[in-house]
Copies of this chain bind each other. A is one copy, B any other.
Amino acid sequence: MNILDGKQTASAIKAEIAEEVTQMIERGERAPHLVAILVGHDGGSESYVANKVKACEACGFNSSLLRFNDDITEQQLLDEIKKLNEDADVDGFIVQLPLPKHINEQKVTDAIDFRKDVDGFHPINVGRLSIGLPGFRSATPAGIMDLIERYGIETKGKHAVVLGRSNIVGKPIATLLMQKAQPGDCTVTVCHSSTRNIKEICREADIIVAALGRPGFVTEDMVKPGAVVIDVGTTRVPDASRKSGFRLCGDVDFDNVAPKCSYITPVPGGVGPMTICSLMKNTLLARKGIF
């Protein structure tokens, strides 16, 4: 059993990005600049954004954090987005989700210029990923593909089972895994809450990507010996023994599943760091221009 070490892999990729940024600066070019918009004071969002800002530092990027109270109106937020769309000093920006209920998240996503949409959530980037065109790939699926690639895992003709059909993980990772590319070229099955025989389907999988948000859902009896298991779950479970009061729980019962796997991602330290790393890759691409 091998651990797919997202933390180490992400560090290596960030070091490569930092090296490229150093060269850009030596050539007299401006470093990439990522802006994050944070609305309100959700604990999870605060920590995600803090990690993104930290990753920018590691890569030599400029970063800015724009904070707004949760009583900001939708129109005010759309006006801020318009400013960032038009600001030539901003290469890419993200609006940390979730947003307060009075703001339409899709409207906000649609308002972002797709050439600065480094989260890859704009319909144009979603469509370009599906068609197989260059564009900003949604950060979590792109991070998973990078992890598979860096570990040299053979995927061609393998049966990948994706648990979950969300717009930001399930659907795009299914698309990337089926595409005629390396990594990719898998037979792909997508399972979800309406799937009847999910255990049987998982047992057929060479690769399982678990993105249901249900702690410990994937148990030992669902995994074929030698399978590759990618755990996207990051549910906060109360834990009085931690200073934070919680621990992050994946969708996989790691302790019992890991011994059966050829490769498995831990939580934390697996997909999470790779996701942030993809955001950095997208920001570098935005700086260099990909459209």
Contact = CB atoms under 8 A, between A and B. Distances in A.
A127 interface: yes
Contacts of A157: 194-196
Contact of A189 (B171, B172, B189): B189
Nearest to A179: B165
A279 interface: no
Task: Give the top 9 A-B pairs by smallest Cβ distance, nearest first.
Answer: A127-B127, A123-B127, A126-B127, A189-B189, A187-B195, A185-B194, A157-B194, A123-B128, A131-B167
A192 interface: yes
A126 B186 CA distance: 21
25 contacts: A106-B131, A106-B133, A123-B128, A123-B133, A123-B135, A124-B127, A125-B127, A126-B127, A126-B130, A127-B127, A127-B130, A130-B130, A130-B175, A132-B167, A157-B195, A165-B180, A171-B178, A174-B190, A185-B192, A185-B194, A187-B189, A187-B195, A187-B196, A188-B190, A189-B189
A174 B127 CA distance: 14
The oligomer's copy count stands at: 2
A130 B141 CA distance: 15
Contacts of A127: 122-128, 130
Contacts of A189: 187-190
A180 B189 CA distance: 16
Contacts of A188: 189-190
Contacts of A274: none
Contact of A187 (B135, B167, B180, B194): B194
Contacts of A123: 123-124, 127-128, 130-131, 133, 135
Nearest to A128: B123
Interface string A163-205: 0010100011011001110000111111110111000010000
Contact of A171 (B124, B135, B175, B194): B175
A191 B156 CA distance: 12
A187 B201 CA distance: 10
A156 to B, nearest CB: 6
Interface string A122-164: 1111111011110100000000000000000000110100000
A255 to B, nearest CB: 28
